[in-house]
Amino acid sequence: MKLGAFSASLSVKDLKVSKAFYENLGFEVLAGGMEMNYLIMKNNNALIGLFQGMFEGNILTFNPGWDESGKITETFDDVRAIQKHLKSNDIKLETEADETTSGPASFMVKDPDGNLILIDQHR
């Protein structure tokens, strides 16, 4: 199963302070913007999303159809196929993608320790 690019999505208190902190660790802004209250930061193959006021807690995020540079991959497993696979293995989903649609969609699942995982397809 191809889950796509991986990132940690962090809920931050002050986007400006967090941006400066991660820049000091060698990260650079890849996407997003201060005016949108989120930044996607990149350091080599490592991705971190910084989100201010959008959700509580931190989320592990996978983006089917994207690589770690935010570029479209030729082949990928559609979010609905991934969802069906998990459901067929009796994995409880927190939210679900509409399986009658195509294109962008997402769903959420928690791991056995309660960590939230977002599978978020943008294409």
Instruction: Please give the order of strands across the beta sheet that includes 28-33.
Output: 28-33, 38-43, 46-52, 5-12, 59-63, 116-121, 105-110, 93-95
What's the pTM value of the predicted model, to 2 decimals?
A: 0.86
Whole-number mean pLDDT of the chain?
A: 95
Q: Where are the domains of the chain?
A: 5-121
Quick check: 12 and 20 in contact, CB under 8 A? no
pLDDT digits (tens, 9 = 90+) for 53-67: 999 999 999 999 998
Does the pLDDT value for residue 47 go beyond 90? yes
pLDDT digits (tens, 9 = 90+) for 13-29: 999 999 999 999 999 99
Does the pLDDT value for residue 37 go beyond 90? yes
CATH 3.10.180.10 fits 5-121, yes or no: yes
For range 30-41, the mean pLDDT = 96
Does the pLDDT value for residue 69 go beyond 90? no
For range 29-41, the mean pLDDT = 96
